[in-house]
Amino acid sequence: MLPAVEGESEKMSPFSGLDELMCYYLLGLTRVLSFSRTVRNTLNMITLLVPLLLSLALPNVLAWGKDGHYAICKISQEYLSEDALFAVKQLLPDSAQADLASVCSWPDEIRHNYHYRWSSPLHYIDTPDFKCNYQYCRDCHDSYGHKHRCVTGAIYNYTMQLKLANADASSELKYNLTEALMFLSHFVGDVHQPLHVGFTGDLGGNSITVRWYRRKTNLHHVWDNMIIESALKKFYGSDLSTMIQAIQRNISVISSLYLYAFIQMMGIPGIDKLMFFLLAIALISLLGLALHTCI
C-alpha cells in the first residue's frame, strides 16, 4: 500500500496541473537557504532535489531508463548546496556509497517485487484519450480507481514525508525517509518523460509499435532507453561519464541564454560581457536550473 501522509485527502493534493507542481518546488527554493547543518534541518532542501529543475532544462535527455536516471541524479548532486548534500548522504543506504545516482533507478528495480507492487502506478499519470489537459482529481488514480496513485501524487506524498519529518521531530508519523528520498528523486525524473504523462489508450506508448534503427520495439521503450543508448554509442563512445560531462556543459550554455533573455526582458541597460558573466554565475548558483522556469 502506498505510504500516505496522515489525513491525506484530495484537498491535500492541490495540483490542477504540472505547472503548479513546478511552482510549488520553485517557490520553496527561497525558504531553504538559511537552514543549519543538521539532517533534520536540511530535509526540506532534499525535497527540492535538482532533478526536478535539471529535467526541465534538458530537452535532449528526456528518455529515462537506467542511464537517464543515473545522469539526472549525477548532475543534480553537483548543484546541491553543502547542507543539502550532507543530508542526502545521511539518508542514502550504505550500498550507495554516498552517491545518489547509484540508487536513482531503485524504484524501477523493485516495482515488480511482491512487497512493492503497490508502487507500479506511481511512475506515470495518464489522461483520457485526446484530453490535452491534466486534472489531478480526475486523472491521479490507479487501474482500480484508488486515488493519489500516480506520479504527481507520489511526488507530493514523498515531499510531504520529508517535510513533516523535518517540521516535527517528535511526531508519531514514522516514514522510511531513505525510501522517500529514492522514490522522490526517481519520480521527479519520470514526470518529465513524455510517455509517462500521456494518454490512457496507448498505455504510455507501450502499444505503439515502431522501428528504431531497424529494431522493432515500442515507442515507450524508445524514449526510456534506446535514444540514450544510441546517443551514447554514436556520440560518446559508449561512455556515460563523457555524455554527462557534455550535458553539464550544455546546461551552462542553456542557462546563460535564458538569463540573457531575462535581462533583455527586464531592460537592464549598459551591462557589459564581464558583468553579464558574473551575474549569470550568481543567479544560476542561487536558482540552479530553475531560472528559465520562472521566465
> H or E stretch including 218?
strand 215-218
118 is a catalytic site residue: no
Residue 111 is a catalytic residue: yes
Kindly name the residue from 40, 99, 108, 118 that is annotated as catalytic: 108
pLDDT of 19 > 70? The answer is no
Average pLDDT value for residue range 63-78: 83
Q: Does the active-site annotation cover 292?
A: no
**How far apart are alpha carbons 263 and 29 in whole angstroms?**
21
Percent of the chain with pLDDT over 70: 61
Q: Tell me the pLDDT of the chain averaged across its residues.
A: 73
Establish whether 221 is a catalytic residue.
no
Set of cell numbers at residue 205:
506508448
What pLDDT shows up at residue 34?
29
Q: How confident is the model at residue 273 (pLDDT cuts 50, 70, 90)?
A: low
Cell for 286?
542561487
Burial of 148 (0-12, 13-18, 19+ CB in 10 A): buried
Class of the 10-294 domain? mainly alpha
- For the question of residue 69 being annotated catalytic, the response is yes
- To the query of whether residue 190 is one of the catalytic residues in this protein, the response is yes
- At 48, the pLDDT band (50, 70, 90 cuts) reads very low
- Our answer to whether residue 115 is catalytic in this structure is no
The one catalytic residue in 141, 149, 196, 221 is 196
pLDDT in tens, 172-206: 567 899 999 999 999 988 988 888 988 899 888 89
Of 264 and 100, the one with more pLDDT: 100
Q: What is the DSSP letter of 78?
A: T
